[in-house]
Amino acid sequence: MAIPDYQACMLPLLRLASDGNEHQLKDATGPLAKEFDLTEDELRKFLPSGLQPVFINRVAWARTYLGKAGLLCSTRRGFFKITPKGLELVNGGISELNTKFLEQYPEFQEFKAGRGEVRSQDRIVTVTVPEDTETAVNDETEIRKSYHIQALLARIGEKMGFSIWLPRSDRGNVTREWTPAGSTLLDVLPLNYDDTTIRTIEQIDVIWLKKRSIVRAFEVEHTTSVYSGLLRMADLLALQPNMDIHLHIVAPSTRRDKVFQEIQRPVFSLLDRAPLYECCSYISYDSMEQLAQERHLEHLSDSVLDEYSEWAE
């Protein structure tokens, strides 16, 4: 059968959670895939960004919508469980669940009020238009923390065997906490792009490279508006829409929701390649601190970052 849309995933996901236990999204997709009788080819189908399977993305959307209606709740990063309201719904024998049904819940109405869908060429994308209620922060403590996170990212990448790029303006502050070994910190980017693209890439906060290829790029966002990092990532994709790299916004957990709001603005959602929220994930400061404590980073693949990444849904 065809891959179900996120609305079709809602009721099976809610029923799965009706055992009252805590569930992890990645573990929930297996039983749901069996219920929908999906083939291996269907499970391997990825979003246009190439960074997340379509089915996992749709189950994640289902979880988000159920959460916004108060039927599921988040217990910790990546985990959820059913709420009393959700359990009551399942026990009542509901046979169909979709966004129209969820609109009866005030909290879901509030959530939907800040979102919309627009058509872009051959696809419909979800966008948000956040209110501009926050301003940039120039607090020295925040700025020092961002340099600390850049140093952590550089150290982790170095231990995993990558060459590291840092903006020249940040190097003095970052290398106070991280001393690069040998030629790990690059003086020149070994990339064959036009000057405009190179200048854009040079400003990205931390880049991990393998030989002449970028593997992962990180923007450490210490401002409350979280615009600058997203703009730089969007600029990069606009200049090089076929560039196949992992993009990450790293920010405090207190700004997680703000990152997800901003990344779905129309300007970021209507890129030619794909919406930015399909190409760029969020990682919290706490997650980077946790990863940095791993004892054998030199033996880990960079794919471990995917376990700490969260995607807008």
Residues in a beta bridge with 161: none
193 and 255 share one domain: yes
96 and 152 share one domain: no
**pTM reported for the whole predicted model:** 0.63
Secondary structure of residue 76 in the 3-state scheme: strand
CB atoms within 10 A of CB 188: 8
Contact 254, 222 (CB under 8 A): no
Secondary structure of residue 284 in the 3-state scheme: strand
Torsion angles phi and psi, residue 115, rounded to 5: -130, 160
Predicted pLDDT at 205: 94
User: Is 242 inside any structural domain?
Assistant: yes
Torsion angles phi and psi, residue 264, rounded to 5: -100, 15
pLDDT single digits (tens) 229-252: 888 888 888 878 778 889 999 999
Predicted pLDDT at 134: 44
CA–CA gap between residue 213 and residue 231 (Å, rounded) = 22
β-bridge pairing 163-165 and 206-210: antiparallel
pLDDT single digits (tens) 110-145: 777 655 554 444 555 554 444 444 444 445 666 788
280 and 205 share one domain: yes
User: Is 182 inside any structural domain?
Assistant: yes
Torsion angles phi and psi, residue 106, rounded to 5: -55, -40
User: Is 130 inside any structural domain?
Assistant: no
CA–CA gap between residue 171 and residue 183 (Å, rounded) = 14
Number of domains in the chain: 2
Contact 284, 25 (CB under 8 A): no
Predicted pLDDT at 77: 65
User: Is 313 inside any structural domain?
Assistant: no
The structure tokens 């238009």 sit at: 129
DSSP string, 80-115: EEE-HHHHHHHHTT-----HHHHTTSHHHHHHHHTE
Q: Which residues of the chain have pLDDT under 50?
A: 118-121, 127-138
Closest CA to 213 of 251, 232, 240: 240
- CA separation (Å) from 170 to 58, 99, 204? 39, 46, 10
User: Is 289 inside any structural domain?
Assistant: yes
User: Is 102 inside any structural domain?
Assistant: yes
User: Is 19 inside any structural domain?
Assistant: yes
The structure tokens 């959820």 sit at: 80
Question: Helix, strand, coil proportions of the chain in percent (round to 5)?
Answer: 45, 15, 35
Q: What residue numbers bound the domain in which 181 lies?
A: 140-308
60 and 208 share one domain: no
Residues in a beta bridge with 3: none
User: Is 118 inside any structural domain?
Assistant: no
Contact 164, 158 (CB under 8 A): yes
Predicted pLDDT at 126: 55
96 and 188 share one domain: no
Measure the CA angle with vertex 32, ends 29 and 38; round to 5°.
Answer: 100
The structure tokens 């590291």 sit at: 164
Beta strands in 169-272 (DSSP E): 206-210, 213-220, 246-251
Predicted pLDDT at 133: 42
